[in-house]
Structure formats: structure tokens, C-alpha cells
Structure 1
Amino acid sequence: MDAAEALPDSLLEAIRSRAAGYDERNGFPHEDLDALAAVGYLAAFVPREVGGLGAGLDDVVRFQRRLAAAAPATALAVNMHLVWTGVARLLADRGDDSLAFVLEEAGAGEVFAFGVSEAGNDAVLFDSLTDAVPQPDGGYRFTGTKVFTSLAPRWTRLGTFGKDTSGEEPLLVWGFIRRDQPGWRHLEDWDTLGMRATQSCTTVLEGVHAPADRIVRRLPVGPSPDLLVFGVFAVFETLLAAVYTGLAERALQLAVEAAHRRRSHRSGGRPYAQDPDIRWQLAEAAMALDAVLPQLERVAADLDAGVDRGAGWFRALSGLKHRAASTAKDVVDTALRVGGGGAYFRGGELERLYRDVLAGLYHPSDPESAHATVAKDLLGPLEP
């Protein structure tokens, strides 16, 4: 699928023109989300026969790179909706229809968000600090605090999980809640260095109810081979890598433009694009970025094709996200140096990209976790 068809140039230019304002006001990009919904982008993973674009993960990776080059924070916010719809598509492609309602509701205009992260929970998907209390109707009530809930002002469905300790063995319970149900609230606490327009506010769950037909998994605590857990990790890491790669592509473009625009007094007014040191720096940044793209595209294509890498998937996915985020930061650093002192002033696009790219440090898998995962794959587990 052509990325320019899914995200026309005119749409992206309008989104880019608003990005600085949302960042300055620390506001949510309502106009961007409305515009993306109007062209069917929020239904990218939804099959064509039910009104979606019918895109695969390989397609959406290209789309998200393109969107992130226009407005990284908007792309990162939309990522969380695309994670859930992407997981639903991954499961469906493998014969699991437990998230079929996600695709159906996304096709009807519902907006999904990701209510999983918890402060202090470094087990991430393998344990939870949130209480999940079983109800007579087969549903659950969730009580706990979730952080980094992107799309906070606009989600209509929140996928979340908690721990049920009512039985002999604790279980991790995954379910979906509705915005129009009581028992949850947001804190107006999103005032960050970068990625401000995501409005990833803290969400406090206060006994909010997920009915039985929206409880999608009950799993043992700890690492799990369940397809849902794999799907969440796989789509989350891959689409994060896409966003930060798109951000880096834009930073490199701005650096090239700056190199042609800036003139050197010392060399008689020649553009910095003719300076050997500047040329070397930009070439180095471009080569680093070029190395990420095949890895990103291969991972996405293999996930679409259902390739079985076994336990090697966790090495591939952790490594992809780490490399993409680290490379993006390095590319933006280079772009700032090439852009000169003017790039350091507030309000410039490179200044904003520098703040936005730092958020990549905090998403799972963090550098420590990624290196531990790859080391385990290479060397085996640590001895007790």
C-alpha cells in the first residue's frame, strides 16, 4: 500500500504546521486525530471488507515513519491505538479471534489506548501492581494506577491488565474498559520535556468494570508464551521503532537543508555543504540510519508473514527498538551540530525534535532490558 495514499502530502503538511503549537501549549492534537480519522487512518489494520485500509504491519511501519517525520508526538499518540489494532490483526492472522471486537470497533470509530505501564513495575507484561477482582457476571473490576496513558483526552476504549489473587495461584487478567463507564479518572499531570502532545496522563482505576465479553486473557504471573503477550510486545516494539526512525529521517533532512543554507565566512561564503567535516558528519548519520531501515522492514515483514523465530523474536524485537531509539538520538545530535547555534533556540523544529527523541529512552525495552535479553539469547540465562 502506498504511504502517500494513506497519508497525503496535504494532510501531513497541515499536521506539521500545527505541531509546534501543540508542543508550546502542552495540548492534545485534536485536529490531527480528527483529520487522521477522516481519511480512515485509525482503521489502518482493519480489513477492507469491514471498512478499513487492510494494511499489514509492514505498511503501517512505513505510514508511521511518514507521520512521525511531520509530527512525532502525534505519531506516538496514535501509535498506542495502532498497537491494539495491530495486535488484533496479528492474532486474527494466526487464527485467534479473541480481539476481533477491537478491529470491529476501530472500524466503527472507537479509539483504543494502552493502559499497561505502572510506576515501579519493571516486570512490565509479566506482573501487575493493579488489582483485578472477579465479579459474579464473569467480568472484573480493576483498581490501580497506570502511567503514560497516551491519547488520554480522546480514547474511548482502554486495554489494561491487573492481577487476580483470589484463587490458589495469582492470574494476570487482560481486559478492556469503556470511557463512558464510571470508576476511572485521569490526572492532569502530563507536563514533560518532549512528546508533549501525546498527553500521556496518569490513569487511576478505581474499581472500573470490564464485562466478561471484554476479558480476553487470564494468564499465570511471569513470562508467558501466550500469543497475546507476544503480540503486544511485537507490535509495540516495532511501531515504536518506526516512530523514532521517522523522527530521525526528518532530523537528517533538516540538517541537510541547514548545510546548504548556512554559509562559512572563513571559506569565503561557501555553504557548509562543501565543508569536509560537515559532509563526514552527515554521511555518518545517514549510514547509521540506513542500517536501521532493513532491520525494521524485515522484522515487520516477518511478523506479517507469521515467521516463527521462536525465542529469538524477543532478541530481535528488543534489539530493534533499542537500535532505532539510540540511532535516532545520535542522528538528532548530529543535526543540531550541523544546524549551528540557531538550532538551539526554542521554537525551532530541530530543538523540538531533540526534546522529543529523548522519550525513546523510557519506553520498554529500555537499554538494560534489551541488553539482558540479547545476552540471554547469546549466552544462556544467568546462573542463580
Structure 2
Amino acid sequence: MSINFMVDELATVERLLPGLDQRLREVPVAELESDKSPGLGIFREFGGPALMVPKELGGLDATLVDALHVQRVLGARSPSLSLAANMHLCTVIAMPPCPATEELLGAVAKDNLYLASGFGEGKPAASILEPLMKGERHGDGWRLNGTKKPCSLSKSMDYLTASVMLTFPDTGATEMALAIIPADTEGIEVRPLGDSPVLLGSETCEVVLADVDVPDDYISSLGDPQSLNAALATVFHVFELLVSASYVGAASGLVEAVLRQRRGTAAERMELVGDLETTMASLEAVARAATPGGDDPLGVARALYVRYSAQRTVERVAAHATELLGGTAYMISGLSTTFFTSARALAFHPPARSAMAEPLDRFISGEPLVMP
């Protein structure tokens, strides 16, 4: 049954990664969402890691709107895959300049390598802009110690990119930086993270670094976190948009099932579609106005506004669509249970809505935007 839903998004995926959507459709949801999911392998096979790499470095040179489309489709097929791919794509887009950057992105495109993003450290209410991972001067580079969790792509990653707080021995001053570390570096250990059955295919684990040595060329300064400089503005701008599209995708997978099965009334179906299309249009509008690499606090604020709006919409639409699909489907269908539960996880990505309320309120009143 042919339906006019996610038309532009599916066309974008077919243009940039031909055959990917059909291949993902052939794999049962339960398999894609398992801890042995082939999703990341399939995405790699179809050239997904090169999606956002510039053309001059051998990549597909997709736009930010293209990336939103891809993330929505991935989310509709496998929320786990969408989440993991999101972390890689955001890292590629927001990679700050350092001597290793161009070489690394060229290798990503040529060999379809995965970059894992290690910013979280599993501390409730802690800021991701105050990393607990420490870097001490060691020879001609830095020695890193600490833990990153949750960290998606942890089993398939070729490189770990991790936020770290460097301490300079001559002054005792500290500075936030991004370290680029080959995944097979001595001292990196991947450990299981809890027993949650949700988003298992995203390979979300704990990554522990013990006396991991990183040369200077693979360290890039992120400056003062409170200043929301160009590097950090790009990180937040891109992440909030793409992660929102990923979970719009999860809700879209449920709505797609409602449409194909003709569940509910015409009015209910159109309400579900309308809510998601409105949210997607908002994400696209902010993405088109974005200037990645620039110091744009207003753009970051707008990305946060649409993210929190998307969060509420996704929660409401996923719940209604699951209800329309019925209790029997919920009990026996991997789609209903997995996608409904996964869709709620958008609320758990930083920065939390409650944490940003005061900073955004002050920003609207004319003060600088400061991330908590």
C-alpha cells in the first residue's frame, strides 16, 4: 500500500543513500532493536558515515536539512540506529579544527569510519560542559583518565571523540577540550551499561579511559564553556535539531503503521500526521537558517525552542498512535512497544527542558545565553 507520508524524507534518503530504506525494511524491528542489531553495519554498508563529510574530503556533502530527513527515516525504521547515527553525524558536522580534523574526515569518507561522541558522564544534573574526565600533560601530549557514559556507537566506533578538562602544569589553569582517540588505543575499555531493554541497537555503553595517551595534534580546544563560543554553539545547534528529527522519526514509524492499517478515524489520522509535519517543518526552518561554525546564540535558542516543542509533540503523537494500533499490537508487536518507549527518550538528552528554563528566560530578557 502506497501512502503519501515522509515523501520528501524518503526521496532524500534514496538520493543520497540509494537502497538503504528498502534494506532496513527487510530486517525485523526486533532484530534492529536488539543488542546484536545489524543496523549500524547496514548504514555503514550504504555509505552513511560519509553523509556530512564535505565533498572536497570525499564525502556526500549533505546539507543540514538533508541530515534531518535521513534521521527521520532512520528513526522510523529503527530508533536505535537513528540515535547512534545521530551521534556520529553531529560529531562530523561540529568537529572543531585541529591538525587531525581534515585527515580524519577524509578517512571517515573513504573507509566509512564511525566517530563516537563521548560527552555524557552519567552524573545526574551534571553539566556536559564540565567534564569530569581529566587530562594531564604527559610528554608531548596528554594523558587522559575518566569515564564516558552513556556513549552510543561504543562497539562499532573507529574513533572516540571525548570532552575532557585539561590542566596546564605551568599555571594550573584548566580548559575544556575535545580529544580524538582511535578506538583501539591502549587503555580504552567498553563496559555494559545497565539492563534497560530500550535502544539496545544503539550500542550505548560505558567507555572507560585509563592512562590513555593522546598527542597534541589530536586535541582541540573548546574554550570557555560559559561563553557559548562558535565551537560549542555549533555542537548545540546541530545536536538539538538532529536528535529531535530522530525521535520525530520514531513517532513517524508508529504513525506510518496507523496509516497503513487505517486505524482510528480520518480526523485522528490527520491530526497525527499534521502534528508531525508541523514539527518537521519547524526543524527544517531552523536548519535552513543555521550557520554551523558561527557564534550564533539566537540560532541555538531557536534550536532549543523547537526541540522542546518536538519533545512534547513526539510524546503525545507516539502515545495516541500506539493507542490506535491497539492493546494486542502493544503486547505482541515489537513496533508498538519498542517505538513507544523509545520515543519518550528525547526528554533525557541534554540540556533538559527544566535546566534551560532560567537561561532561556534570561536570554529573552536581553542577557547572554549561558548553557548550564
Same fold flag (TM > 0.5): yes
Please state if 1:74 is matched with 2:81: yes
Which residue is 1:41 aligned to?
48
Looking at structure 1, the residues matched to 99 and 233 of structure 2 have their Cα atoms a distance apart, in angstroms, of: 15
Please state if 1:354 is matched with 2:310: no
Which residue is 2:20 aligned to?
11
Q: Cα RMSD between the aligned structures?
A: 2.6
Which residue is 1:85 aligned to?
92
Instruction: Give matches, 1:214-233, under 5 Å.
Output: 214-217=218-221, 219-220=223-224, 222-233=225-236
Match of 1:133 among 127, 133, 136: 136
Superposed displacement of residue 7, structure 1: 3.3
Instruction: Give matches, 1:107-256, under 5 Å.
Output: 107-109=109-111, 110-120=113-123, 122-137=125-140, 139-165=141-167, 166=169, 167-217=171-221, 219-220=223-224, 222-256=225-259
Tell me the SS of whatever aligns to 2:27: helix
Which residue is 1:367 aligned to?
353
One-letter amino acid matched to 2:188:
W
CA distance 1:225–1:327, shift in 2 (3 Å): same
One-letter amino acid matched to 2:130:
D
Match of 2:63 among 56, 66, 71: 56
Looking at structure 1, the residues matched to 241 and 101 of structure 2 have their Cα atoms a distance apart, in angstroms, of: 19
One-letter amino acid matched to 1:84:
T
Looking at structure 1, the residues matched to 259 and 366 of structure 2 have their Cα atoms a distance apart, in angstroms, of: 44
Looking at structure 2, the residues matched to 147 and 228 of structure 1 have their Cα atoms a distance apart, in angstroms, of: 22
Please state if 1:27 is matched with 2:35: yes
TM-score by length of 1: 0.84
Looking at structure 1, the residues matched to 28 and 84 of structure 2 have their Cα atoms a distance apart, in angstroms, of: 13
CA contact 1:156–1:179 (8 Å) conserved in 2? yes
CA distance 1:218–1:304, shift in 2 (3 Å): closer
Looking at structure 2, the residues matched to 255 and 97 of structure 1 have their Cα atoms a distance apart, in angstroms, of: 50
Tell me which moved more, 189-198 or 73-82: 189-198
- Can you list the C-alpha shifts for 1:114-139, whole angstroms capped at 9, x where unaligned? 111012264534211111112220x2
Superposed displacement of residue 377, structure 1: 2.3
Q: Max radius of gyration: which structure?
A: 1
- Once the two structures are aligned, what percentage of the paired residues are identical? 25
Which residue is 1:325 aligned to?
311
One-letter amino acid matched to 1:336:
T
Tell me which moved more, 117-126 or 171-180: 117-126
TM-score by length of 2: 0.87
- Can you list the C-alpha shifts for 1:30-75, whole angstroms capped at 9, x where unaligned? x332332232221011223432111121111111112211112111
CA distance 1:307–1:86, shift in 2 (3 Å): closer
Gaps in structure 2 of 5+ consecutive residues: 1-10
Superposed displacement of residue 305, structure 1: 7.6
Gaps in structure 1 of 5+ consecutive residues: 261-271, 273-277
CA distance 1:33–1:348, shift in 2 (3 Å): closer
CA distance 1:128–1:305, shift in 2 (3 Å): closer
Match of 1:299 among 286, 296, 299: 286
One-letter amino acid matched to 2:20:
L
CA contact 1:259–1:338 (8 Å) conserved in 2? no
One-letter amino acid matched to 1:27:
D
Looking at structure 2, the residues matched to 190 and 2 of structure 1 have their Cα atoms a distance apart, in angstroms, of: 36
CA contact 1:193–1:355 (8 Å) conserved in 2? no
Tell me the SS of whatever aligns to 2:289: helix
CA contact 2:14–2:21 (8 Å) conserved in 1? no
Tell me which moved more, 251-260 or 156-165: 251-260
CA contact 1:113–1:157 (8 Å) conserved in 2? yes
CA contact 1:248–1:331 (8 Å) conserved in 2? yes
Looking at structure 2, the residues matched to 48 and 237 of structure 1 have their Cα atoms a distance apart, in angstroms, of: 24
- Can you list the C-alpha shifts for 1:77-99, whole angstroms capped at 9, x where unaligned? 111111111113xx68xxx9873
CA contact 1:19–1:71 (8 Å) conserved in 2? no
Which residue is 2:8 aligned to?
none
Tell me the SS of whatever aligns to 2:261: helix
Tell me the SS of whatever aligns to 1:85: helix
Tell me which moved more, 297-306 or 204-213: 297-306
Looking at structure 2, the residues matched to 102 and 288 of structure 1 have their Cα atoms a distance apart, in angstroms, of: 39
